Structure 1
């Protein structure tokens, strides 16, 4: 989907068991949409939303343990459940999740056939923060399940992957515990930087935040250019983080746009370990809420390899709004 992103499934929790990102699992169960992607052209989903029933009640699954800690999940095996069926296993005691919040969660995946745990984020303490609570991204049913819950709530969702022919195929129970929340940004927020070099391309923002550029006579050099346009006040981005961002990319040769998350109507989440080096170097060290101008020479981008509408040996220009990092 994103021409600059060299990416495998973004959220690793369930990638090894059913080749799904959790974001796609949640959204598809709710008949919503997801920005997660595994390639330059198609969403990461190993089965379509057809047949999923996000309104179905998941029965026979229980959770024990202290709120906010890794729960012990139990059910009689083999568990038969509609794909997308869900249940609240533990009622939380923390802050209330509201519309527009970005929610972080710890997760466990268990085989529906054996009840054995096959994946977990708890041990490495790597909560995922890819869920923004709105009906567009989650779908109406899943939105109803999430909105109004409290932190430390644990929910379960059944997931059946019928498209796989490997030993990793099958049915799973995903137990998610909401552990934190924050305001979900849709565009950069912070202080405008005033000492921007006058010879750089000029950036203009539409009312919704989408950037456009005027090359301003700019002649690309051979080194990476990183210019903060808006300085956000959030956490510092690490080069090991997954970042949620809105962005647009242009060719430096003629300012022709080749990609934009703004046009798709949703931000993109991607690991900095799986993008071109110009992105990794340019975004690491920035702060959440920032807007960054990146001018990426070929050796920090795609080099001599053409990428769809990006010719070989192209210098690329990006304006990136950093919405979250986790």
Structure 2
């Protein structure tokens, strides 16, 4: 796989995991079967938050995960029942108990009006509703993609003693916490992902490597002109099919099929189709080689893209982990982005 060696989770994602999962984050990792059973049980038990348009949280600024809103809390704010206010209404799908939600957030102490954490301008949080802290889950259920929400989390639905990690004066297990969230996207467990790119053909410029196909018009290999011309100094991202889906953004979780070959001779070294499974990763955050992080954001879901990547943006000229050396070529089908 085209991962970078020793890749780490982005700091914002790691922080969101620790904070938003609350006490669950420190428990042993359950098995997949245990996770599925627990998620089903928890989803069935989630009730939507109460709605109060007069909740003492004022939020201004554009709804934008890259720009932190201005938040003012009428302190001390305390609720016994988790309560939601829709600050700005979105037009997207309604969020259900079994959905996965992507959102930007800031977290505040209702007692003092002090901000405790924020993901705005960083990597969005992305969680299954049934796996997140109960008060946040209740705030999301029944809301819509595109909403800006203010959620006052009752202590019984909150982080419990884990709030001590904030090391904030006046914040304890009995504190009402306020989450301001911009809901970027949501998807249900039955969301279907296509198996191949589905877009309008694009004629590439002359001189680029060519893709070979099987009888079903799925990529199988790459032919490089011989003698191979000098590789580009920067990654070239050339659409071969242009999909009609959303534009891939930095921080998106993308699902793709790919074929990778060495640039000098077109020798295929890996194919997700041969492996039998598409590849899912977070793009633009250092999880994969720089050429992918440079070439995939800005493309659209449904596209097939040829990536011609110089050695410096691949694994280098002398990798030590068994990866191919020198410049590389990939043909990538972007199946989904979330």
TM-score (norm 1): 0.56
Residue aligning to 2:201? 192
Q: Distance in 2 between matches of 1:121 and 1:76?
A: 24
Q: Distance in 2 between matches of 1:158 and 1:88?
A: 12
Q: Distance in 1 between matches of 2:240 and 2:172?
A: 46
| Bigger radius of gyration among the two | 2
Q: Distance in 1 between matches of 2:161 and 2:104?
A: 21
Deviation at 1:300, TM superposition (A): 2.2
Q: Which runs of 5+ in 1 are unaligned?
A: 32-44, 80-85, 132-136
Deviations 1:103-127 (A, max 9, x none): 66341134799873133356xxx48
What does residue range 167-246 of structure 1 map to in structure 2 within 5 Å? 175-179=179-183, 181=185, 186=193, 188-195=197-204, 200-203=210-213, 212-216=219-223, 221=229, 222-223=231-232, 224-233=235-244, 241-246=250-255
Aligned length: 280
Structure 1 pair 166–96 and aligned structure 2 pair: CA distance change class (3 A): closer
Q: Distance in 2 between matches of 1:307 and 1:174?
A: 48
Q: Distance in 2 between matches of 1:304 and 1:225?
A: 18
Contact 1:97/1:147 (8 A) holds in 2: no
Residue aligning to 1:35? none
Q: 1:20 aligns with which of 15, 28, 37?
A: 15
What does residue range 64-213 of structure 1 map to in structure 2 within 5 Å? 64-65=57-58, 70-72=70-72, 87-91=82-86, 93-95=89-91, 97-98=93-94, 105-110=103-108, 116-121=114-119, 126=121, 131=126, 138=128, 140=130, 145=138, 146-150=140-144, 151-155=147-151, 156=153, 158-159=158-159, 175-179=179-183, 181=185, 186=193, 188-195=197-204, 200-203=210-213, 212-213=219-220
Q: Which runs of 5+ in 2 are unaligned?
A: 50-54, 64-68
Contact 2:255/2:278 (8 A) holds in 1: no
Is 1:301 aligned to residue 314 of structure 2? yes
Give the SS at the match of 2:305. Answer: strand
Q: Distance in 2 between matches of 1:99 and 1:206?
A: 37
Deviations 1:278-324 (A, max 9, x none): 22442355345433121323222120353644144463525151745
Give the SS at the match of 1:279. Answer: helix
TM-score (norm 2): 0.55
Give the SS at the match of 2:268. Answer: coil
Contact 1:288/1:322 (8 A) holds in 2: yes
Aligned-CA RMSD value? 5.6
Is 1:3 aligned to residue 7 of structure 2? no
More helix by share: 2
Deviations 1:144-191 (A, max 9, x none): 7445313233345845897x99989x9995714235558889455532
